[in-house]
Amino acid sequence: MSLSLMKRVLSPSSAVMPNAVTATRGGDGVAVVSNRAPERTICVLDGHSLTCEKLMELSKGNVELTLSPAAWDKVNRGRHVIDQILDKKEVAYGINTGFGMFSDVIVAPDQLSQLQVNLIRSHAAGVGPPLSRERTRMLLALRVNVIACGHSGARPETVEKMLAAFNEDCLSVVPCQGTVGASGDLAPLAHLCLGLLGEGLMWEPQSTDPKPAGEVLRRHGLEPLELGPKEGLALINGTQLISSLGCEAVMRSINVARCADVTCAITLEALMGTHNAFHPKIHAARPHCGQNLVASRIRGLLEPEKPSDLFDSHRYSGKVQDAYTLRCVPQVHGVVFETIEFVKRLLDVELNSATDNPMIFTGGADFYPTGSAKAPAGTRGRGHSGDASSTLKGSAATTPVCATPLSPIPPSEENSTSFDDSFPLLDGPDDASDISDLNDARKEIQKMRALLKNFKQENTALNTHLMETLLLGTSGFIISGGNFHGEYPAKALDYLAIGIQELANISERRMERLVNPALSNLPAFLVQNGGLNSGFMIAHCTAAALTSENKVLCHPSSVDTLSTSAAKEDHVSMGGYSARKCLEVISECRSCHRYRAHGRLPSLGVS
């Protein structure tokens, strides 16, 4: 590798200064330890602007968290809705009922706080190695950001205690296994909350082993959480484990992908490959963004103002074209960069999404089918959201908001109610092998539509009971939904693992070309005195082993589902494992691009 290329590739990493530790004597005689550095970066969470980059910064332990004034206002208003529902003695899921299969069990008012504590204790059933402190910081910060959206109903004092624990770097011990990714990451988040209650184990600054949580909180002058109605559920219902691990996966994958471009350029020089495959005109003819980005980056590494010593030799190498592992790098690496970008955009949305259930909305609302003058009599403000024509009036969110604009639906399809328009497959050729009689199928579904229409008209009260419930308070309303489902990040992270693995595949093949003298015209295994020395023989074997392991890990976790909670939660995402194995794939792919020999290898003896 030439010195000029080495200088362009390597850059010193930024050093992180350790936090200062100070000790003071509390009024009760207990030593209060502070981990706050004299100067710490302040990060303001607002529930809508957190990114993967920012969340990774929060993992370092040198940032202090707070909420924006607008976020505090949303938290206050959301909690006010809960308080009003309790004052009116309304029955609402998760506030004064049991959970999951026990959602029909009404809990007495004097047991509502105990209900939430019991929820945390019972759901803290995770297993496996604990998350690192860095990952636990990300998990806690992300959960606070979700609460800052204002749809969870947590009290401000609860949020303040969570922020204080983060800022003092007192972190719950959270086992990494146990989530099925719906209803959210219940077990990991329950462990996160358990430590904040003063139960279980916690890490404290500079400690090598976790300590009893109550002791850690006392030593740092922190008060344990005292959960009010809805708050236990508000702290554990969401996709924050999947999403926080996913953010780390995205940021690490960016580094691996850039490293792959560099190793490709170095390999191309060593093998005296041609540069023609990276010509701008080739890639302009196939204008994928990632492909053109990689081609441009490799051109910059290979053809700078001060080219490497091997540059002139390429002009006279006589090669017309190289093997695919060199020639097709922009096409292969490029789609990986676009995969990373896609997953990052999705996760940036997920980081700022309310993933609780039920969800609290502030402001008055009427909920009833379009065209009705008022809600059906006797429904007490309850309506159904199962009909596509239902609208939410009086709310600011009357139209769906999409973070990434989607293609508009043609008017003919948007308001279509006919079976033929909705299912164009049934107007296709009659030789479709998987449908025996299309006409009979069409008639049966038309009958079902007619029966459903009559059911809606004649059984309004029953239909209202079966559909989603909307519970009105004087300053807001609560809706049960499914935002806790982790399918979005789960599918994205399975996709990311598959993309990153392709970098390992092509890198391992390039390594084979380097160490195989029949392909490289270089000494076997890149070592002098072969036989006495084995060179990079087993380094390639290691890369092959890791690449093979990754192929197994790339089997999507999210294609699986199991019914849980006595079939109440009958479809889950398995996104927790999607995130964990994605990180493992990235780690092993990174190892394929980095090798450090033990001792000094003999030089090749070539210039």
Which residues are identified as catalytic?
A: 93
On the 0-12 / 13-18 / 19+ scale of CB atoms within 10 A, 585 is buried
Identify the residue whose tokens are 């109903």.
153
Cα–Cα distance between 525 and 537 in angstroms, integer?
6
63-67/41-45 β-pairing:
parallel
Torsion of CA 205, 207, 210, 211, to 10 degrees: -80
Cα–Cα distance between 367 and 471 in angstroms, integer?
10
Identify the residue whose tokens are 């490959």.
273
Identify the residue whose tokens are 């459903």.
452
Cα–Cα distance between 430 and 213 in angstroms, integer?
67
Six-digit token pair at 39?
């100067």
3-state SS class at 166: helix
**CA 59 to chain centroid:** 15
Cα–Cα distance between 116 and 505 in angstroms, integer?
49
Name 482's Cβ contacts closer than 8 Å, sequence gap at least 6: 182, 357
Query: How many angstroms separate the Cα of 278 from the Cα of each of 322, 497, 552?
Result: 12, 26, 32
Cα–Cα distance between 267 and 20 in angstroms, integer?
45
- Which 8-state DSSP code applies to residue 376? P
3-state SS class at 545: helix
Nearest Cα neighbor of 142 from 95, 198, 184, 195 is 184
Cα–Cα distance between 44 and 459 in angstroms, integer?
50
Cα–Cα distance between 250 and 248 in angstroms, integer?
5
Tell me how far apart the terminal alpha carbons of the chain are, to the nearest angstrom.
11
Cβ(356)–Cβ(152) under 8 Å?
yes
Cβ(149)–Cβ(130) under 8 Å?
no
- Please state the φ and ψ torsions of residue 211, each to the nearest 5 degrees: -125, 165
22-25/31-34 β-pairing:
antiparallel
Nearest Cα neighbor of 297 from 340, 318, 339, 268 is 268
Query: How many angstroms separate the Cα of 602 from the Cα of each of 137, 526, 528, 536, 569?
Result: 45, 9, 6, 11, 61
Cβ(32)–Cβ(168) under 8 Å?
no
